[in-house]
A = this chain, B = another copy of it.
Amino acid sequence: MDLQLPRGMRDFPPEEKILRDEVIAILKNLFELYGFSPLETPVVERWEALSAKYSGGEEILKETFKLTDQGGRQLGLRYDLTVPLARFVGMNPTIKRPFKRYQIGTVYRDGPIKKGRTREFYQCDADIVGSSSPLADAECVQLALDVFERFKIDVVVKINNRKVLYELVRAAQIPEKFTEAAILSLDKLDKIGPDEVIREMVERGIERTSAERFLSGAQDPQAFKNSEGYRELEPVLSALRDSRVVWTPSLARGLSYYTGTIYEVYAKDSSVTGSLAAGGRYDNMIGQFLGGTEKIPAVGISFGLEPILEVLKEQRRDLPLRKTVTQVYVIPFKTLVAEGRAVCQRLRRAGIKTDIDFSAKGISDGLKYANAYAIPFVVIVGPDEVAQGKVKLRDMRSGEEQLLTVEEVARQVAQRLS
């Protein structure tokens, strides 16, 4: 058989999965420290929910994997974790609000494959449903600051409010029909520079003077300190009072469901130019999605596992890509396999991740195996050692060997690996 993965899908062998699990564990821990509880929804959703108005929008729907069950029901693979959250909130109306949940899971997009972009990828989302306080926005940003401190990644958080952008458009006397086009162009400022932004806006039909006024307004935070958008942003900024959080009037976060404060987190001094996390307030989406008249305010932040891993690998070249979780490899002499297994079980009971060689191919083959997987310690169970009630501990990096009891081995290994 022709062995292949589906296009855009990946395997994560142990040496990558071990690191991914560690990053996910840190995110999980931080989400929970902030009082977000875990929620799990299925990978498969009804097509009706995925395609509802106010959910992902046309662009995303084109990239959504479609399938049917045996009953002929239309289904699809989720393309984000926000639509499932909205559905869950709708199906559980008695949940006490604010409802704080996080979800770490894979999402699927049947789109073009760019560098670092796959068709199955993780989103790590934390959301607060049912609070309109600006302090809920501040909590999400504070969470991001704490997350990246934990990862030892220096970041800058660009923050803005969607209303600032609308006011900028109006102040520049850009006709209403060009609002979306103008904001989309402005959002590219960092990527394509001011001249290109102007050129693009003019090309889209906006007058040059308006385009220039719009751009200069977006680059002058002082000019909009009296705007409604800034009045919404100000309590968020002052709750945070953090120099890493920078008001960036040009920040737009696409055009879909955000209604208020928005933010994007970038790594400083990194070749990774995309955002590591992003989010904002979306006060209309859930209510409209549910088709009711109730307004359900919500804020959230989404962390990207792939870009975070990219920065970690770039900035911490010492980061161990371990090939195995195994800490100790027990190699018993041919005749001492039962004794070897007993040693192995005692080490496991002491919390040491232990594997055992029962191939009976001999010590040197066992050492080669431990080497191939870069296992840090080997324990040799030989007749001389057993006679003394001890085993031989070999540090595979230094080559140093010691005659120890199993308890001493467990202590030493735990110490040296901590």
Q: Which residues of B contact A356 (CB under 8 A)?
A: 35, 135, 139
Q: Tell me which of A88-96, A394-402, A404-412 binds B.
A: A88-96
A11 in the interface (beta carbon within 8 A): yes
Beta-carbon nearest neighbor of A368 in chain B: B96
Partner of A70, one of B3, B75, B110: B110
Q: Which residues of B contact A36 (CB under 8 A)?
A: 325
Bound complex: CA A136 to CA B337 (Å): 12
Q: Which residues of B contact A120 (CB under 8 A)?
A: 42-44
Sorted nearest first, the 5 A-B pairs with minimum C-beta distance are: A35-B355, A14-B37, A9-B42, A12-B40, A135-B358
Partner of A353, one of B32, B52, B142: B32
B67–A38 touching, CB < 8 Å: no
Bound complex: CA A351 to CA B146 (Å): 13
Interface of chain A residues 203 through 243 with chain B (CB within 8 A): 239
Interface of chain A residues 311 through 325 with chain B (CB within 8 A): 323-325
Q: Tell me which of A15-23, A163-171, A181-189, A383-391 binds B.
A: A15-23
Bound complex: CA A239 to CA B332 (Å): 14
Bound complex: CA A65 to CA B358 (Å): 40
A39 in the interface (beta carbon within 8 A): yes
B69–A40 touching, CB < 8 Å: no
Q: Tell me which of A100-108, A151-159, A254-262, A271-279 binds B.
A: A100-108
- Please, could you name 8 A-B residue pairs with CB atoms under 8 Å apart, sorted by A? A11-B40, A12-B40, A13-B92, A34-B348, A35-B354, A35-B356, A43-B106, A44-B119
Beta-carbon nearest neighbor of A21 in chain B: B38
B6–A75 touching, CB < 8 Å: yes
Q: Which residues of B contact A10 (CB under 8 A)?
A: 42
Bound complex: CA A138 to CA B351 (Å): 20
A3–B87 touching, CB < 8 Å: yes
A6–B37 touching, CB < 8 Å: no
Assuming the contacts A325-B37, A358-B135, asked whether A7 and B108 have C-beta atoms less than 8 A apart, the reply is no
Bound complex: CA A1 to CA B49 (Å): 8
B17–A40 touching, CB < 8 Å: yes
B354–A33 touching, CB < 8 Å: yes
Partner of A2, one of B5, B6, B37, B48: B48
A416 in the interface (beta carbon within 8 A): no
A326–B49 touching, CB < 8 Å: no
* Seed contacts A7-B71, A18-B38, A146-B348; 17 additional CB < 8 Å A-B pairs: A1-B52, A1-B291, A4-B46, A6-B46, A6-B69, A6-B73, A7-B69, A11-B41, A12-B40, A17-B39, A35-B354, A36-B325, A44-B108, A44-B119, A63-B70, A135-B337, A142-B345
Bound complex: CA A323 to CA B35 (Å): 11
A290 in the interface (beta carbon within 8 A): yes
Question: What is the CB-to-nearest-CB distance from A80 to chain B, in angstroms, rounded to a whole number?
Answer: 16
Q: Which residues of B contact A71 (CB under 8 A)?
A: 7
Bound complex: CA A119 to CA B69 (Å): 10
Beta-carbon nearest neighbor of A89 in chain B: B3
Q: Which residues of B contact A90 (CB under 8 A)?
A: 1, 3
A131 in the interface (beta carbon within 8 A): yes
Bound complex: CA A275 to CA B270 (Å): 51
